[in-house]
Amino acid sequence: MAATSGYAADTGDEEVDLLINPSSSISLGVGHWSGTREQYGIFDGLRDDETIALFDADIRLRDDDTGTWITAKARNLGIDNRDVKLRYERQGNWGVGFSFNQIPRYAQYTIITGMSGLGTETQAVPAPADGYVPGTGDDVVLDTKREAIGLDFFKYLSPNLNFKVDYRNETKEGDRHWGRGGQAEFAAEPIDSTTRQVDVLLEYAGKEFQLTGGYYGSWFENDNDLVTTYRGLAAPGSQFYLSLPMDNEAHQFYLNGGYNFTPTTRGTFRVSYTHATQNEHLPTSDIPGLAAAIAPSKLDGEINTTLVQLGLTAQPTDMLSLVANLRYHDVDDQTPAWLVVTAGTGVHSTPMSYETISGTLEGTYRLGDGYSVIGGVDYKTQDRSVPQYAAERYVPFRSRVDELTYRAQLRKSLSETVNGALSLSHSDRDGSSFSPAIHSDGLTADSLISPINIADRKRNKVRATVDWAATESLGLQFNAEASRDRYEGPASVDYGLTEGSARLFSVDADYAFNDNWHMAAWASWDRSKATQRNYHDTNIGGLADTDRTAHLTDTGISLGLGLDGKISSRTKVGADIEWTRTTSEYDDNIPPAYYLANVSPLDDIVNRSTKISLFADYAIDKQSALRFDVVHEIWKSDDWTWQFSDGSPFVYGTTNDGTMVVYDPSQSATFVGLRYKYTFM
């Protein structure tokens, strides 16, 4: 980058340049963060004042005589969010690769708790009755860390036949915010799992026929299976058991390919079959008095998935192009239905199977004078298995869902410098009649809920784009999108989402002042709305239950500006600023009298973030360069998720827990870094 900016010309394509003249580089430096950045530091772990090492490497070596490549790439080796890739390849013959990456995730708040057993399968939460004082105890930042190792190998068995193997082993450790009991009580999910994946395939590529077949397998193992939690330290009581994800595995065999019938007609296909199981022993069956005598000792979970997909593309004439696709997807859940709750009339598990057939037909016709018309039809029908135990339906159910979508687009090359497109689509989803919810407790209100994923829906979308090269130096891109959903279920099913809408407007600009200075700017505005009608059980004496309608709105505004250029043959500088504001509004029309004491409507949540970046590159010579970076971040929020209305930290009850959650609603931090980069051939 900066190390050669003053000395070497290039083609303008970085990948091509590296293939023609492969070069390597090593970058070393030091940086310091000052301030508070719990929000920005979620995925790198840099939360407060901290000095870090800056170490990156990109090694590319080629032996021209043998066609051998040796590459190594390392990024962020001085912090927790790092990755390394190594590769040895005999061009056109065989190759092997190794990769390692680490991804942390730190909670953006601090937990102050007297809990014992954090990170284990036995946890006890103290209560004020034990002498625990809320806000005292250990300060804990919950975090998880993923570490993945990958190995891959390929070998060309012939000019047309290639064999590949990819293997990945990922471990995840740490703790995640959790909860226990019927009231709000703190718990932490202990995470210690391993996921293994392998993909083996054989590829054939002929002039007319191409074929790929292979096997994909995955295995998930969790070293923790059941968490036992207690309330109270002196005399453990109110014991609860919290289950964790169980071991499972899946095996898939697949075959896909394509055939060129003519130079303008091509067919494709994909076929796969997946067998997934979950047969781990259920730890709850070993606890006396917890599991019923008839409860299973293992789930015997089994899901078999079949996929068949066919495609055809053709160009019957110079003016007309056609695309057709047909897809069959069957999810067959063979898991037995077990009795999982014995109280009352009992509750069973609910295995669900789905059979989905979908298809697309699309045509493009070129009208001349730069105009093109695109029309398409998408159809999907899904058959859903009916719950085996009808008396345990908790929401209305339909066994078939159909959706039909019509699409149309007009494209126009207005000139050599202006291109635009306008697209419209309309989709209509309906299906079989609803079967009402049937509750053992006799409640009927839930039978009026229309589940969003199967409810009748009409959706309209419109999108307009313009790409304008105003001058040789100035380019502009405009985009406008709008959509509206209307949920129109039968009169007997009228609770749930009733309508929704979305809007997006954006503009991007790119301007070159001259050969040395360049500017880019962008702005976007989006708004999503949803109206939801719900049943409201007041639980207030003298007031009858009522319906309530919530109008939910999310609005986002983002602005960005970047400038970079050369102030001398050796020095390049640049600056970027990004600003974002998001607002979530909760407009609930419940009269004030229907709120319980000390309960009020939800306030709006506003988040603001600003990031300013400055850099300077100085080329010492043809091989050496210095880079100086300054970054300033600002984040502000009035999110009430973990604080009370008066701004005080959230506390888990006054009699049953006392754990406190603390976060800083106004954060700012500054980074200063200096690194040295050495480039060599």
Residue 609 pLDDT exceeds 90 = yes
Q: Give the Cβ contact number of residue 93 at 10 Å.
A: 12
Residue 13 pLDDT exceeds 60 = no
| Structure confidence at residue 232 (pLDDT) | 72
| Structure confidence at residue 441 (pLDDT) | 53
Q: How many Å apart are CA 528 and CA 482, to the nearest integer? A: 10
Nearest residue to 245 (alpha-carbon basis) of 346, 172, 313: 172
Task: Determine whether 485 is exposed, middle or buried from the number of CB atoms within 10 Å of its CB (0-12, 13-18, 19+).
Answer: buried
Q: How many Å apart are CA 384 and CA 350, to the nearest integer? A: 12
Q: How many Å apart are CA 438 and CA 334, to the nearest integer? A: 24
| Structure confidence at residue 3 (pLDDT) | 36
Average pLDDT over residues 37-48: 91
Residue 504 pLDDT exceeds 70 = yes
Highest-scoring range by mean pLDDT, 166-170, 243-247, 473-477: 166-170
Q: How many Å apart are CA 26 and CA 155, to the nearest integer? A: 31
Residue with the larger pLDDT of the pair 86 and 137: 86
Residue with the larger pLDDT of the pair 100 and 385: 100
Task: Determine whether 229 is exposed, middle or buried from the number of CB atoms within 10 Å of its CB (0-12, 13-18, 19+).
Answer: buried
Residue with the larger pLDDT of the pair 447 and 432: 432
Q: Where residue 8 falls among pLDDT bands split at 50, 70, 90?
A: very low
Expressed in percent and rounded to 5, the helix, strand and coil fractions of the chain are: 5, 65, 35
**What average pLDDT does the chain have?**
89
Least confident of 34-48, 171-185, 382-396: 382-396
Question: What pLDDT, in 10s, does the model give residues 74-92?
Answer: 999 999 999 999 999 998 8
Question: What pLDDT, in 10s, does the model give residues 619-651?
Answer: 999 999 999 999 999 999 999 888 887 778 888
Residue 127 pLDDT exceeds 80 = no
Nearest residue to 202 (alpha-carbon basis) of 213, 215, 218: 213
Residue with the larger pLDDT of the pair 67 and 615: 615
Residue with the larger pLDDT of the pair 124 and 357: 357
| Structure confidence at residue 670 (pLDDT) | 97
Q: How many Å apart are CA 645 and CA 5, to the nearest integer? A: 55
Question: What pLDDT, in 10s, does the model give residues 478-503?
Answer: 999 999 999 976 665 678 888 999 99
| Structure confidence at residue 9 (pLDDT) | 43
User: Which residue bears the tokens 């309960």?
Assistant: 599
Q: Where residue 160 falls among pLDDT bands split at 50, 70, 90?
A: very high
Q: How many Å apart are CA 270 and CA 273, to the nearest integer? A: 10
Q: Where residue 169 falls among pLDDT bands split at 50, 70, 90?
A: very high
Residue 209 pLDDT exceeds 60 = yes
Percent of the chain at pLDDT exceeding 70: 90
Q: Which two tokens stand for residue 123?
A: 């946890």
Residue 5 pLDDT exceeds 90 = no
Whether the CB-CB separation of 429 and 375 falls below 8 Å is answered with: no
Q: Where residue 20 falls among pLDDT bands split at 50, 70, 90?
A: low
Local structure of residue 234 (DSSP, 8 states):
S
Residue with the larger pLDDT of the pair 544 and 657: 657
| Structure confidence at residue 575 (pLDDT) | 97
Q: Which two tokens stand for residue 287?
A: 């606890």
Task: Please give the torsion angle defined by the CA atoms of residues 294, 295, 301 and 302, in that order, rounded to the nearest 10 degrees.
Answer: 10
Whether the CB-CB separation of 319 and 366 falls below 8 Å is answered with: yes
Residue 581 pLDDT exceeds 90 = yes
Residue burial 575-606, b: 16+ Cβ < 10 Å; e: rest: ebbbbbebebeeebebeeebeeeeeeeeeebe
Residue 145 pLDDT exceeds 70 = yes
Inter-CA distances, 56 with 119, 399, 589, 648, Å: 33, 55, 55, 43
Q: How many Å apart are CA 609 and CA 527, to the nearest integer? A: 18
Average pLDDT over residues 318-335: 96
Whether the CB-CB separation of 147 and 180 falls below 8 Å is answered with: no
Task: Determine whether 654 is exposed, middle or buried from the number of CB atoms within 10 Å of its CB (0-12, 13-18, 19+).
Answer: exposed
| Structure confidence at residue 500 (pLDDT) | 94
Nearest residue to 137 (alpha-carbon basis) of 113, 157, 120: 113
Q: Where residue 38 falls among pLDDT bands split at 50, 70, 90?
A: very high
Residue with the larger pLDDT of the pair 285 and 528: 528
Percent of the chain at pLDDT exceeding 90: 64
Residue 336 pLDDT exceeds 60 = yes
Average pLDDT over residues 277-306: 87
Average pLDDT over residues 56-68: 91
Average pLDDT over residues 15-43: 86
Q: Where residue 537 falls among pLDDT bands split at 50, 70, 90?
A: low
Q: How many Å apart are CA 504 and CA 514, to the nearest integer? A: 32
| Structure confidence at residue 440 (pLDDT) | 53
Inter-CA distances, 209 with 204, 213, 316, 632, Å: 8, 13, 21, 55
Query: Half-sphere exposure (CA, 13 Å, Cβ side) for 324?
Result: 7
